[in-house]
Structure 1
């Protein structure tokens, strides 16, 4: 790891590639007229660090992204207010990117008839620019990707030039602040939040940072609260005191009061446009503890990793590129897939396979991309290639089990589940 990478990791916790960091520093050197990278780093100030961080944490989100999480949250809020009508429910969105997620939370609860006096959303992001944009409440066409845009007519007014502004009735339900989860002071916020949304942040952390972040989130969440993650992050939460919520495709979690983990349940799969898999360097997908293997596995959607995705796409490497560039191809493929750019993501996978024809992970991502585009047969073929090359690829086995169930192949699904369960046990033991 270079000194610049170490510096940015210390500041953000993010596991950033050398290419991304070098590109950001080059940009800032041009802006500050620094003679060379060493001189630039020596002259680093808090203000310049903020500017540098802005270049490596590029948020990508939109309204009503992965709606099942919001549906599960609404059920939870209704149930809580059913027993305590006068209660104020506190909800946390971190990272909040440009505000699309916290505003969606406020719109969903408002549309569900939850009184404004009964909920408040706190939204944090490490980027001051993101927070400023969120506070402005003005969004362009790219933020409105849901199939049903009736919410836009209800909760926004035209701001001219094709932009829309969130209505004040929704804006007043969200409080935006700049902040880094890893630096949160928990003294006044232990057990403070009834619901926490932290989707697709951990995928950019190494294992120690992931553990520290989950510890912070666990402390912030009430013992009987709910947390919503990106589906590739569910396994990490389950390794650190959480258990999956039984709500299909919501990727929700509860604090785990039981000690031992059970058998794997849902391959809260990678993150590809419905969630693209995490960058290799940041990935730590064991497998979530869950219900017995006889329980049907809910099929994870393949839209995009959750909200507030931080992305920095690495350019395609040329033939003959060194191994690090090849690894960047897969990281870029996941991020492009998360942005919904299936063709570009597929090209990155194929470029990677041109260099590494036996890459199980590339075939796995291609399977996800084909599932996303409703080509289950091709997805199945790619996942079979994946487990041929890597027989213990847990997520690929889980996806194949889901396909077998969808095709009414009960015995095939049972065999794949049992195989995945054995792999999960071995991973947990090691």
Structure 2
């Protein structure tokens, strides 16, 4: 078995060849080995763990996607009211260098919620990432966006960097582990009220995604909430979750308790009626609920998300197309049409919409990941791998839509 396959078997990650070869070259140079054949680390050894640290991508930043933390805080506040006297439990995985769990800790502290009321467990495959998270020192790259007031409040300046303060630290416990290790859900079954799992499943093959979704289901309380990456929401839905949002937060619940539907309600019976298709047909008239004089593209996109949240996918499709009537080159509308098509059981239409999004915005990370999932579901592994590599390059450049993992 070659080293690439060993890494895949041990971590569950589908890794680009160049990423593995680059990591091997770095470790060989570090160890002073002259040939590729001299380097053959075995799983569960320190050298294998060092290699895993190099092939994983633990880059993130504080309050990445602020809407996600707003949604998480609102859920925690409601939960504390409905479960008085019980300490809530949050899980962040992969936690990378601690940016996500520390961001949530700062949000809790700012809202006056104490560690006694809500704790955060943070898990990552990489030993090096966990060590960095525990150390809690960050460069300027971990702080992006215009509003950095939180940095002055919760961090101490340390030369050219910043060290997380004692208050956020009290909320978080870090540990190394692999979600696909059966012992992880077995030890923590039904423990968590809220789980962050964003942009991890995109690095798994289909069996890995099935196993990961099952593990998250086991970890999450029956009425708990999962916050995922948008490109992973379809995979989680196939694994027994149903969406609470197609907007910025991508919140899901276990399907039995979800309050929205993944597929649209069937229309009333009509003689000889055929099932409507989500396609790239000419743009229909905007939904009747919208006033033509007051409609803006932003409002139509927001309306599309709200309709999709309610399981009204056909109307959400119409809202997207109404936005495209006003702004035909709007990549985000084509991206939403792709998600709606996939959720509505129209994978070919979903592919066309996602490809249109990428034509307009070639580095749309979420569209790249969603399209890769569609190809992999059809068994087109080579096409899926090419798209994943493109997505990895977008992430490596640290763009707005890069992944945390």
Which TM-score band (shorter chain)?
0.5 to 0.7
Partner of 1:292: 312
Offset at 1:72? 1.2
Partner of 1:236: 235
Partner of 2:48: 49
The verdict on how the C-alpha distance between 1:28 and 1:44 changes in structure 2, with shifts beyond 3 A counting, is farther
Task: Describe how 1:171-250 pairs up with structure 2 within 5 A.
Answer: 171-185=169-183, 186-246=185-245, 248-250=247-249
2:247 partner SS: coil
2:248 partner SS: coil
d(CA) in 2 for partners of 1:256, 1:238: 8
Counterpart among 159, 163, 166 of residue 165 in structure 1: 163
Offset at 1:331? 3.7
Mapped pair 1:337 → 2:337: no
Contact 1:200 1:305 in 2 (8 A): no
The verdict on how the C-alpha distance between 1:43 and 1:122 changes in structure 2, with shifts beyond 3 A counting, is closer
Indicate the RMSD between aligned Cα atoms, in angstroms.
3.4
d(CA) in 1 for partners of 2:396, 2:25: 25
d(CA) in 2 for partners of 1:338, 1:34: 30
Offset at 1:17? 1.7
Contact 2:12 2:208 in 1 (8 A): yes
d(CA) in 2 for partners of 1:305, 1:245: 22
Contact 1:95 1:201 in 2 (8 A): yes
Task: Describe how 1:94-133 pairs up with structure 2 within 5 A.
Answer: 94-133=93-132
Offset at 1:330? 4.4
Contact 1:192 1:222 in 2 (8 A): yes
d(CA) in 2 for partners of 1:341, 1:170: 25
Offset at 1:108? 0.8
Partner of 1:356: none
Partner of 1:275: none
Deviations along 1:243-293, one digit per CA (max 9) or x if unpaired, are 01137310111000179974279x9xxxxxxxxxxxxxxxxxxxx997022
The verdict on how the C-alpha distance between 1:132 and 1:262 changes in structure 2, with shifts beyond 3 A counting, is closer
The verdict on how the C-alpha distance between 1:17 and 1:339 changes in structure 2, with shifts beyond 3 A counting, is closer
The verdict on how the C-alpha distance between 1:96 and 1:262 changes in structure 2, with shifts beyond 3 A counting, is closer
Contact 1:64 1:146 in 2 (8 A): no
Deviations along 1:51-91, one digit per CA (max 9) or x if unpaired, are 11111012110000011111111111111111223120000
Report the number of matched residues. 306
Contact 2:43 2:49 in 1 (8 A): no
The verdict on how the C-alpha distance between 1:328 and 1:213 changes in structure 2, with shifts beyond 3 A counting, is closer
d(CA) in 2 for partners of 1:51, 1:332: 22
1:122 partner SS: strand
The verdict on how the C-alpha distance between 1:151 and 1:293 changes in structure 2, with shifts beyond 3 A counting, is same
Mapped pair 1:263 → 2:263: yes
Task: Describe how 1:31-110 pairs up with structure 2 within 5 A.
Answer: 31-41=30-40, 46-110=45-109
Offset at 1:187? 3.2
1:157 partner SS: strand
Contact 1:68 1:248 in 2 (8 A): no
1:223 partner SS: strand
Contact 2:71 2:249 in 1 (8 A): yes
The verdict on how the C-alpha distance between 1:294 and 1:122 changes in structure 2, with shifts beyond 3 A counting, is same
Unaligned runs of 5+ in 2: 266-277, 279-307, 321-331, 337-360, 370-380
Unaligned runs of 5+ in 1: 268-287, 310-323, 346-367, 370-430
Contact 1:15 1:205 in 2 (8 A): yes
Contact 1:243 1:290 in 2 (8 A): no
Partner of 2:147: 148
Tell me the TM-score normalised to structure 1 length. 0.64
Deviations along 1:124-157, one digit per CA (max 9) or x if unpaired, are 1111111111011111100001321011111111
